[in-house]
């Protein structure tokens, strides 16, 4: 059997760990051949590929990013895209695909399965917003990076007695903001799932200043003030219809400074959350996902995604995994609210 592997969407710590696990088990246990498609779905669209052997994955466990590179290509936005993919797979003798990605990449995987292509999905996103799995790899690393940044910002905020607003990733789901904010001892945590009242935020900030503490506000990039609109870096949309968000942190810092008369600064963590070495947890989870994805291919169980349920790796339908985003439930946010101010 010859199996194709691709990584789509945003890069994420742990992608290489999945590739390594897939290739090692596939070759050493089943004797399969592997081909890596470059740049997400653009690879099988154009035939841009490379062989993947044991030597190619020997030293990639700890590396961030992806040796296959990535893109936000949507073959269903390309005329004749599905037929092109089928032809490339046939020409290269590929019998099955393992697609590693988030909602967009796996949404394509689901549609391709419906169109007769054998695909197994592996859930990847630092936002932890993919349905049908308790956690996605990459999330733990992103939270750890954000938490360390918040820890460092506490000291400089206290030194200058200023408010610091930390903008983290999270378009529709506030998991990174919630977890890093709790772990970092933030004064306020703002998530997309719950529109925030600026007056209330300012009240919490002033309360911290009154106690001679410097407030730290953690805000997800997709968080919205009541009656406000998303802050956009650009109005352009990618192939999946997403606009680039950014700027809510700067806007909120300016509002706090204006309303309190206190010095306020914004720090945008941006892509630093995606980069660098994955944590031990993400390396293990990514490896387990990769090993179980190989099992699904061996069983001919296509149209599924490997998922974490409790401590077990299970298989769920791609249709279930991509049906809706997993957002922060109200009760989780309410748990954290006791610490505000």
297-321 pLDDT, tens digit each = 999 999 999 999 999 999 999 999 9
For the entire predicted model, the pTM comes to 0.91
Q: Is 271 annotated as a binding residue?
A: yes
The pLDDT-based confidence of 338 (bands split at 50, 70, 90) is low
Task: Give the 3-state secondary structure of 201-241.
Answer: HHHHHHHHHHCCCCCEEEEECCCCECCCCCCEEEEEECCCC
Strands 216-220 and 232-237: unpaired
Q: Is 126 annotated as a binding residue?
A: yes
Strands 312-317 and 304-309: antiparallel
User: Is 151 considered catalytic here?
Assistant: no
pLDDT, residue 340, reads 59
Q: Which domains does the chain have, with CATH numbers?
A: 2-137+278-322 (3.40.50.450), 139-275 (3.40.50.460)
Strands 49-52 and 33-37: antiparallel
User: Which residue out of 127, 129, 140, 282 is catalytically annotated?
Assistant: 127
pLDDT, residue 339, reads 58
The pLDDT-based confidence of 32 (bands split at 50, 70, 90) is very high
CA distance 275 to 277: 7
pLDDT, residue 325, reads 87
Q: Is 49 helix (H, G, I), strand (E, B) or coil?
A: strand
Name the E strands within the chain.
Answer: 2-7, 33-37, 49-52, 96-101, 119-123, 163-168, 188-190, 216-220, 232-237, 243-245, 264-268, 304-309, 312-317
pLDDT, residue 231, reads 59
User: Residue 124 gets which letter from DSSP?
Assistant: B
At 203-241, the pLDDT tens digits run 988 888 888 888 899 999 989 888 766 555 555 555 555
Sheet containing strand 33-37, strands side by side: 49-52, 33-37, 2-7, 96-101, 119-123, 304-309, 312-317
At 2-28, the pLDDT tens digits run 999 999 988 899 999 999 999 999 999
CA distance 139 to 278: 10
The pLDDT-based confidence of 107 (bands split at 50, 70, 90) is very high
Considering just the CA atoms, what is the radius of gyration of the chain in Å? 21
At 129-166, the pLDDT tens digits run 998 999 999 999 999 999 999 999 988 877 777 889 99
Bridge partners of 267, per DSSP, are 166
Q: Is 10 annotated as a binding residue?
A: yes
Q: How many CB atoms lie within 10 A of CB 146?
A: 25
At 270-282, the pLDDT tens digits run 889 888 999 999 9
pLDDT, residue 209, reads 82
CA distance 299 to 73: 29
Q: Is 125 annotated as a binding residue?
A: yes
């Amino acid at each position: 059997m010859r199996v194709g592997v691709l990584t789509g969407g945003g890069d994420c710590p742990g992608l290489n760990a999945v590739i390594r696990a897939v290739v090692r088990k596939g070759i050493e246990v089943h004797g399969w051949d592997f081909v890596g498609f470059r740049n997400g779905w653009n690879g099988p669209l154009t035939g841009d590929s490379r062989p993947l052997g044991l030597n190619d994955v020997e030293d990639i466990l700890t590396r961030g990013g992806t040796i296959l590179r990535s893109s936000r290509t949507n073959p269903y936005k390309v005329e004749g895209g599905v037929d092109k993919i089928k032809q490339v797979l046939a020409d290269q003798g590929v019998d099955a695909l393992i697609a590693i990605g988030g909602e967009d990449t796996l949404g394509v995987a689901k549609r391709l399965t419906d169109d007769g292509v054998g695909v197994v999905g592996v859930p990847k996103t630092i936002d932890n917003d993919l349905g049908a799995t308790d956690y996605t790899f990459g999330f733990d690393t992103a939270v750890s990076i954000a938490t360390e940044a918040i820890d460092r910002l506490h000291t400089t905020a206290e030194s200058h007695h200023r408010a610091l607003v930390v903008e983290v990733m999270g378009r529709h789901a506030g998991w990174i903001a919630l977890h890093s904010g709790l772990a970092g001892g933030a004064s306020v945590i703002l998530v997309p799932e719950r529109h925030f009242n600026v007056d209330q935020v300012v009240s919490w900030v002033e309360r911290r200043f009154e106690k001679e503490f410097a407030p730290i506000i953690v805000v997800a990039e997709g968080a919205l003030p009541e009656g406000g609109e998303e802050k956009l870096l650009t109005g352009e949309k990618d192939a999946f219809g997403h606009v680039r968000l950014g700027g809510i942190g700067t806007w909120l810092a300016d509002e706090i400074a204006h309303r309190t008369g206190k010095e306020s600064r914004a720090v945008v963590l941006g892509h630093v959350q995606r980069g660098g070495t994955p944590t031990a947890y993400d390396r293990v989870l990514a490896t387990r996902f990769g090993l179980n994805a190989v099992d699904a291919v061996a069983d001919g169980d296509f149209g599924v995604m490997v998922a974490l349920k409790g401590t077990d790796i299970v298989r769920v339908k791609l249709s279930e995994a991509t049906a809706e985003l997993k957002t922060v439930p109200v009760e989780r946010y309410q748990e954290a609210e006791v610490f505000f101010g």
